[in-house]
Amino acid sequence: MKDSYLGVDIGSISTKGVIIDDDNNIITSSYIWTEGNPIKAVRKLIDILKKDLPNNYQIKGIGTTGSARKLIGLLLKANIVKNEITAHAVGTLTFYPNVRTILEIGGQDSKIILIKNGIITNYAMNTLCAAGTGSFLSSQAKRLGLDVSEFGAYALKSKNPVKIAARCTVFAESDLVHKAQVGYPIEDIVAGLCKSIVLNYLNNVGKGKKIESPIIFQGGVSKNVGVIKYFKEILGEDIIVDENGHLMGAIGIAVLARKNKIGKTYSLELSNIAFDTKAIECGRCPNNCELLKIYRNNELVDSWGSKCGKY
């Protein structure tokens, strides 16, 4: 049997999974929508990955990252759980050891990671506002009657992108509606939106950061050629976009699972595992904490939310 390692990146919008071998080659991968239910999404993801995993491979490590990493780590009994910054950096450095800057725009968050000699020297993430992210782009595409996959092609047709105020979702929508109503060509509106996303990212997430090449752009929005065009134009630098850039967090955590393996063989059979959460209010003290209890096969495996430490 050959050894392999599973990496799962559970975001608010999408859930990504990869299985790699000992040489970091991707054996199989999948990208699906989280749809507000990370547990259900991961069960579906694992079923997809299992079908494509050759019978001569066994899982010797599991890693989880993303916003629901701790919850899914308990479900899968992961041997490593790490934040997205670490996972993205490790995944990128695995294939691009000389990278200096990672630009990442995902479904509902964005981040910048600065690296020197293979070490993270600085990073930043967006605030709670999702302006300029993948979900923002999707909602604007729907408003214009387009599929978000068409955005890039429309943007490349434009000779005169309009100015869109993308620092706030509400302002951007009102700006976009106004531009459409007064008759601006749709390709100029789309190009303006792509350009505004880049400007918003650089003025918010990238503010005060020294962006040096080699520069890699990843995350779901890296599939948008219009956004890539304006990153290149505004930064005046070449931008590397890996075909697996949208999976880089999952790849990185799979690499870490390989490096931190504990000699255990994991099963990907989840159909017989009951995994539930239950929210309660403690009431033992004036804090009145809202607790989340996590049960695996009816056994309490963790409890979150306690301010006094009793749970």
pLDDT tens for 175-216 read: 777 777 777 788 888 888 888 888 888 888 888 899 999 999
CATH for the stretch 98-241: 3.30.420.40
Q: Helices H, strands E: what count in the chain?
A: 9, 13
Average pLDDT over residues 76-94: 95
Residue 174 has what pLDDT?
Answer: 76
Confidence of residue 167 (pLDDT cuts 50, 70, 90): low
Who's near 74: CB < 8 A, 6+ residues apart? 275, 294, 296, 301, 302
Least confident segment among 66-75, 159-168, 219-228 = 159-168
Assess whether pLDDT exceeds 70 at residue 258: yes
Run of H or E residues at 69: helix 69-76
- 2-90+250-259 placed in CATH 3.90.330.10: no
d(CA 79, CA 61): 6
HSE of 152 in the Cβ direction (CA atoms, 13 Å)?
A: 11
- The rounded mean pLDDT for the chain is 87
Q: Are 208 and 178 in contact (CB under 8 A)?
A: no
Assess whether pLDDT exceeds 90 at residue 103: yes
pLDDT in tens, 43-61: 999 999 999 999 999 999 9
Give CA 277 to chain center in angstroms: 24
Is 0.85 topped by the overall pTM? yes
d(CA 257, CA 8): 10
Average pLDDT over residues 257-281: 90
Assess whether pLDDT exceeds 60 at residue 128: no
d(CA 125, CA 133): 12
Task: For the chain, report the end-to-end CA distance as a whole number of angstroms.
Answer: 42
d(CA 255, CA 233): 33
Domain with CATH 3.30.420.40 in the chain: 2-90+250-259, 98-241
d(CA 199, CA 161): 13
Residue 186 has what pLDDT?
Answer: 80
Average pLDDT over residues 226-230: 90
Tell me the backbone φ, ψ of residue 277, rounded to 5 degrees: -125, 150
Give Cα separations from 140 to 32, 151, 168, 211 (angstroms).
21, 10, 13, 28
d(CA 215, CA 232): 10
